[in-house]
Amino acid sequence: MEPRRRHKKGIPEHQRQALRLWYFEQRPKPRHSECIKWFLDQFQRTLNQSTVSESLGPRFKYLDTKDSSHTDTTRNQQGQWPRLEAMLNDWQVLVESWNQEISDTTLLGKAKEFWHIIPEYRDKTEPHFSSGWLQRFKQRHNIRERVRHGEAASVPEEAHTAMVLIRELCKEYN
């Protein structure tokens, strides 16, 4: 039997930023095991040591100067519905961590879905989530289309799903 594949969960940018801020304020610098404990206390999520290393490394240095309430790329520095945008961004990070692509149509559909389950928006009229709103949301949260390389680019996700079904059918035969 094939081992079950575990998917890594992505870390939302604001959590990674909080980890970096906490780490760099400490004197002396904490060990990675202390960072893992701190992160668990703060966000009720366990990180592995390699994620801590990556988060504290130079790749995420830009988070040290980024104020989470705005970015330099847009005049509308914070979205009109911060709770919705935070949920949508966290969902997008999670799905992307599974190496799945998300279309603009899917993001807009998820925004509409989230609108109705967020208590403070539930009684308000659903806004028109235009393509302009979506582009500004993607700018605010640094969401870009990424070109896939290597194995990730070689086979569409549908082919993987089809192969799982074929393997299940083959198990019925000698």
pLDDT digit string, tens, across residues 5-62: 444 557 888 899 999 999 999 999 999 999 999 999 998 889 999 999 989 988 888 8
What is the CATH number that goes with domain 9-68?
Answer: 1.10.10.60
pLDDT in tens, 62-81: 888 765 444 433 344 567 88
| pTM, 2 dp | 0.45
Write down the pLDDT at residue 72. 39
C-alpha to C-alpha distance for 43 and 6, rounded to whole angstroms: 21
> How far is C-alpha 56 from the chain's CA centre?
17
Q: What is the mean pLDDT of residues 98-125?
A: 89
Quick one: average pLDDT of 145-173? 69
Q: Which part of the chain is CATH 1.10.10.60?
A: 9-68
Q: What is the pLDDT of residues 118-145, one digit of tens each?
A: 998 888 899 989 999 999 998 888 887 6
Cα angle: 97, vertex 100, 106; to 5 degrees: 110
* Residue 25 CA: distances (Å) to CA of 71, 102, 167: 23, 36, 52
For residues 45 and 55, what is the distance between their CA atoms, to the nearest angstrom?
Answer: 15
pLDDT at 111 over 90: yes
